[in-house]
Amino acid sequence: MIFTIKSVLLFLGLFIAALIDKKTFTIPNWLTITMIVVGLFFGFLPEGSFSVEAGLIRFFETILIFGMVLLPFLFKVPWLLPGGDGKLFIAITAFNGITLSVYAVLAGLILAIMEALLINWRRNLSFKEFRQLQIPLAPSILLGTIVIFIYTVY
């Protein structure tokens, strides 16, 4: 079955995050923390059977990404700290593991860069205006995750 409960819950969470991020430029903590907890729960249930080994591997992958997201904070550069988008990255890792989440986020970043360049091309922005351009990242991460999901299934 292509769409499992796990993937439906992941895409539902990403869709809600994309809607909220598009409107408010923030992703609420309650959403990302819920997604992380649910993703870690499903990490213990690979292919429908309970597995402590698979769950612990997914748990440590998620902790690794969590550490990488908080790394700028440790080096006293909080302006590099990726707020809700970083926590969304952790949630995708909790659901899908580190490999697919890295591919999904990279695909999302490429889509966000393409969106920024398209906006620049249509509005003919100056360099200063382009640097001040704010683009919500969650919709691009959602699309990137869909692209990677389709690519890995087919």
Rounded to two decimals, the pTM is 0.81
With contact defined as beta carbons under 8 Å apart, do 1 and 112 qualify? no
d(CA 12, CA 18): 10
pLDDT per residue rounded down to tens, the chain (154 residues): 445 888 899 999 999 999 999 999 889 989 998 998 888 888 777 665 666 777 777 777 787 777 777 676 666 665 555 678 888 888 898 888 888 888 998 999 999 999 988 888 888 888 788 778 888 889 999 999 999 988 887 7
d(CA 99, CA 104): 9
Domain boundaries, the chain: 5-153
Show Cβ contacts of residue 118 under 8 Å, excluding neighbours closer than 6 positions: none
CA dihedral 4, 23, 80, 11 (to 10 degrees): 0
Give the per-residue pLDDT at 22. Answer: 92
